């Protein structure tokens, strides 16, 4: 158990399930380590506005904490560093809005990030969003003018209204193949956004996801992989071009992926008129890779189908250049 002097920095309540919620900060230290237990009980949550407007410069959240409430650290204008424990699952609305955070690494336990959670963190240059996060809520990173490059986690399916609005120095975004919806204004006012890379099919898009105001529109180009679906001559009002990766890729979200007519197959995406060899093996612990077919990628794609029936022992596949 932590010394009484340190525990006395926090106001807290005991919940019905014999866990502790931190409800306020009454200490004077600017570098705060939240205890994992107090009075022998686990600290599991940080209440709404518990640390709001305090003079914190850094905070460490223990693994025992699962929930960070709305406005929990909002307007901590000097807060530059937060270390998240590996138990945090949800971060509330405006939880870290208007702080001086420069870098955020979220643990793989996080599944929910609330609206405007990091809104107006103008010093924020680096964010790691884990694959466990399913949605990026409205206004989450709005006005985070320090962000320059964003790679969306592979679990994300939905990007809500103005999620990255007015990130004025954002230049590049990479979208995973799970994204199915990008809502209105998601990247509005990102006046330096030049490249948005989509790894999957064209998602639904809301009104003016790139345009912003007529004085601060986005000069973006959307890049898509050959063989993915739903792309026309433009996307959400901006031009689109094919995106060629350094190496050939198996499109595992294609409708042709998997067993078709009792044979396993998939679409290969890469560069136009380049031959790619598909190799297979049956045992990864002692692999012997054998060529199955050579595919020439017409228009950047080719469909591979294993000539062996799908009911034979399973195979693993890889690609190489001829």
pLDDT digits (tens, 9 = 90+) for 132-179: 999 999 999 999 999 998 989 999 999 999 999 999 999 999 999 999
Reported as a single tens digit per residue, the pLDDT across 72-114 is: 999 999 999 999 999 999 999 999 999 999 999 999 999 999 9
Q: Give the structural domain span for 312.
A: 249-321
Q: Distance between CA 299 and CA 244 in Å, rounded?
A: 11
Domains identified in the chain, total number: 1
Tell me if 286 is assigned to some domain. Answer: yes
From the number of C-beta atoms within 10 Å of its C-beta (0-12, 13-18, 19+), residue 208 rates as: middle
Tell me if 207 is assigned to some domain. Answer: no
Tell me if 259 is assigned to some domain. Answer: yes
Dihedral sign for Cα atoms in the order 308, 309, 310, 311: negative
What's the confidence (pLDDT) of residue 309? 79
Tell me if 302 is assigned to some domain. Answer: yes
236-262 burial, b for 16+ CB within 10 Å, e for fewer? bebebebbbeeebbbbeebeeeeeeee
Q: Distance between CA 84 and CA 53 in Å, rounded?
A: 20
Tell me if 66 is assigned to some domain. Answer: no
**Residue ranges of the chain with pLDDT lower than 50?**
1-6, 212-215
Report residue 264 as tokens: 């396993």
Tell me if 9 is assigned to some domain. Answer: no
Taking the model in full, what pTM does it have? 0.85
Tell me if 311 is assigned to some domain. Answer: yes
The alpha-helical segments, DSSP class H, found in the chain are 4-7
Tell me if 217 is assigned to some domain. Answer: no
Q: Dihedral (C-alpha) 130, 57, 87, 135: value to the nearest 10 degrees?
A: -40
């Amino acid at each position: 158990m932590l010394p009484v002097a340190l525990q006395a920095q926090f106001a807290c309540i005991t919940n019905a399930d014999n866990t502790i919620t931190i409800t306020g900060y009454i200490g004077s230290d600017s570098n705060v380590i939240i205890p994992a237990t107090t009075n022998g009980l686990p600290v599991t949550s940080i209440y709404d506005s518990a640390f709001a407007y305090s003079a914190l410069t850094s905070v460490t959240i223990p693994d025992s904490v699962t929930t960070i409430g709305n406005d929990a650290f909002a307007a901590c204008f000097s807060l530059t560093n937060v270390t998240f424990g590996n138990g945090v699952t949800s971060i509330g609305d405006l939880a870290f809005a208007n702080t001086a955070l420069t870098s955020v690494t979220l643990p793989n336990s996080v599944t929910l990030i609330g609206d405007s959670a990091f809104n107006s963190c103008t010093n924020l240059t680096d964010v790691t969003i884990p694959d466990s996060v399913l949605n990026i809520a409205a206004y989450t990173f709005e006005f985070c003018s320090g962000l320059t490059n964003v790679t969306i986690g592979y679990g994300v399916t939905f990007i809500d209204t103005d999620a990255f609005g007015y990130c004025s120095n954002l230049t590049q975004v990479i979208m995973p193949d799970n994204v199915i919806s990008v809502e209105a204004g998601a990247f509005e006012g990102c006046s330096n956004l030049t490249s948005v890379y989509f790894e999957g099919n064209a998602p639904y898009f809301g009104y003016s996801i790139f345009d912003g105001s007529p004085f601060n529109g986005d000069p973006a180009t959307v890049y898509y992989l050959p063989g993915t679906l739903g792309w026309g001559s433009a996307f959400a009002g901006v031009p689109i071009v094919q995106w060629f990766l350094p190496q050939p890729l198996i499109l595992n979200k294609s409708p042709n992926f998997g067993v078709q007519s009792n044979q396993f197959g998939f679409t290969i995406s890469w560069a136009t008129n380049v031959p790619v060899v598909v190799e297979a093996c049956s045992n990864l612990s002692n692999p012997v890779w054998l060529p199955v077919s050579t595919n020439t990628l017409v228009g950047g794609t080719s469909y591979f189908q294993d000539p062996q029936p799908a009911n034979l022992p399973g195979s693993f596949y890889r690609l190489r250049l001829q």
